């Protein structure tokens, strides 16, 4: 921590610009304008803001807004409201003389692309995870439906079997009753005659 503090203090002395400890999430436009007015180049401003924790896209936006703001402020009287042409990002010569290093522009551009690409990959991975979960739930529901259908078919077959068995038993009972009815029809006359004969014999015996 001590070495970091000494290095940071040395950087502050070299640039002559004290960092703001409370880094906001909005583009640091005022930082850019103030440092340009003190003679710092865009390259120096970019390096400083990166060390202060600003993301490449915020630095990029701050440079653009500072270009627009400085272009409007430097317009002649009565033309301040006219639309000033917006210069390409980082292409404007710095106050300290010389243009920004092309490698620095490429580095910032690549950093912005990498950041956006990582966000895109995260979103795609979330979609893939959601898709896998939905497909898993659909497969589970399809299996449950198949199991229910199989159980229903088994229950249906069992009920039909019991009904058929019951019908068979009823049919067999009806056949037995009809057979007994035929037997009674055959023996009933003889039985009636025998009863009549026994009744007559009984009366004769009583008379004697």
46: closest CA among 22, 26, 73, 58?
58
The per-residue pLDDT for range 136-173, each reduced to its tens digit, is 999 999 999 999 998 888 888 888 888 888 878 887 88
Q: What is the pTM of this model?
A: 0.33
Task: Please provide the average confidence, as pLDDT, over all residues in the chain.
Answer: 74
Mean pLDDT of 85-114: 62
List the domain boundaries for the chain. Answer: 2-100
Query: What's the CA gap between 174 and 180, in Å, rounded?
Result: 10
């Amino acid at each position: 921590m001590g070495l970091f503090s000494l290095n940071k203090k040395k950087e502050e002395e070299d640039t002559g610009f004290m960092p703001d400890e409370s880094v906001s999430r909005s583009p640091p436009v005022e930082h850019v304008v103030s440092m340009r007015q003190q003679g710092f180049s865009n390259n120096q401003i970019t390096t400083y803001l990166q060390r202060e924790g600003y993301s490449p896209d915020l630095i990029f936006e701050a440079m653009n807004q500072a270009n627009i703001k400085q272009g409007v402020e430097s317009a002649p009287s009565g033309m301040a409201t006219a639309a000033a042409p917006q210069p390409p990002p980082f292409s404007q010569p710095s106050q300290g003389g010389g243009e920004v290093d092309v490698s620095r522009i490429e580095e910032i551009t690549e950093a912005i692309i990498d950041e956006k690409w990582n966000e895109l990959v995260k979103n795609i991975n979330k979609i893939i995870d959601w898709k896998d979960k939905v497909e898993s739930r659909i497969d589970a529901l399809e299996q449950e439906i198949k199991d229910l259908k199989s159980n229903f078919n088994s229950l249906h077959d069992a009920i039909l079997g019991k009904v058929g068995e019951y019908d068979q038993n009823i049919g067999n009972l009806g056949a037995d009753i009809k057979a007994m009815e035929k037997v009674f029809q055959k023996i009933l006359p003889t039985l009636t005659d025998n009863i009549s004969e026994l009744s007559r014999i009984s009366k004769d015996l009583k008379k004697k």
